[in-house]
């Protein structure tokens, strides 16, 4: 596993992309796959939830959930540019003091973070080669539920992503996108005491909600 994750993400997820993302969010609201995560989190019926958003980008998930179900959030991101934009937007929304921003590779810092009720990873596992390490760390920090989006394992998604990665190789950019095996992600989360309770699909993205079983300290029977 490369320990230069932040370096790669800082380069790939830079200031121009973050500003464009924010502009789009302000104009149109959360993207479709993000809305599926928001709906899944709200479906849990939790109030005053603590949120851990891994790879939160411009912070859409906490900007939205701090308006209703969440009381505080932690946003860990490997891109300094995205974190900066997320922080400015949180201040504009009056959420200062309720979000902790951490610039790091989540797998490096997870051990020192407190647990959260809800953990979200929106389009993040596909940026990271070692999904096992990432999901293990995420599940260890989760009290109740994990909601994540990832690319569907279809031939056309694999073809699109192979073309993107070829383009990356040609321009000598080390960033790659990964279509990780969905059944292996599920087995891993099952082994950590989580059960998938819903899945929704778009053309490219899939969203799954996993709840922590009561026997593992969660609240799902």
Q: How far is the CB of 58 from ligand SAM (least distance, A)?
A: 7
151 binds ligand SAM (CB under 6 A): no
Q: How far is the CB of 183 from ligand SAM (least distance, A)?
A: 22
79 binds ligand SAM (CB under 6 A): yes
Residues in contact with ligand SAM, counted by CB under 6 A, come to a total of 23
Which stretch, 67-75, 116-124, 138-146, 196-204, contacts ligand SAM (CB under 6 A)? 116-124
57, burial (CB in 10 Å: exposed 0-12, middle 13-18, buried 19+): buried
Hey, which residues between 16 and 55 contact ligand SAM (CB under 6 A)? 34, 54-55
State how far the Cα of 12 lies from the Cα of 221, in Å rounded to an integer: 41
61-80 burial, b for 16+ CB within 10 Å, e for fewer?
Answer: bbbbbbeebbebbbbbbbbb
State how far the Cα of 60 lies from the Cα of 133, in Å rounded to an integer: 24
Contact pattern from residue 94 through residue 113 relative to ligand SAM, giving x for each residue in contact according to CB under 6 A and a dash for the rest? -----------xxx------
Q: Which residue's entry shows tokens 């539920």? A: 145
User: In 3-state terms, what secondary structure has residue 27?
Assistant: helix
Where on the chain is the footprint of ligand SAM (CB under 6 A)?
A: 5, 9, 13, 34, 54-57, 60, 76-79, 82, 105-107, 122-124, 127-128, 134
């Amino acid at each position: 596993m490369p320990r230069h994750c932040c370096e790669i993400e800082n380069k790939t997820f830079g200031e121009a992309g973050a500003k464009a993302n924010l502009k789009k969010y302000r104009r149109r609201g959360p993207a479709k796959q993000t809305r599926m995560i928001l709906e899944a989190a709200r479906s849990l019926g939790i109030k005053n939830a603590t949120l851990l958003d891994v790879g939160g980008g411009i912070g859409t998930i906490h900007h939205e959930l701090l308006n209703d179900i969440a009381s505080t959030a932690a946003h860990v991101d490997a891109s300094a540019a995205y974190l900066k934009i997320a922080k400015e937007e949180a201040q504009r929304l009056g959420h200062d003091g309720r979000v902790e921003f951490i610039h790091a590779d989540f797998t490096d810092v997870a051990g020192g973070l407190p647990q959260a009720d809800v953990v979200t990873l929106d389009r993040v596992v596909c940026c990271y080669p070692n999904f096992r390490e990432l999901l293990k760390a995420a599940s260890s920090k989760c009290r109740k539920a994990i909601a994540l989006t990832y690319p569907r394992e279809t031939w056309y998604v694999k073809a699109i992503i192979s073309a993107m990665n070829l383009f990356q190789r040609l321009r000598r950019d080390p960033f790659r996108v990964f279509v990780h095996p969905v059944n292996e992600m599920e087995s891993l989360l099952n082994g950590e005491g989580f059960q998938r309770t819903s899945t929704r699909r778009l053309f490219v993205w899939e969203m799954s909600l996993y709840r922590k079983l009561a026997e593992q300290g969660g609240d799902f029977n």
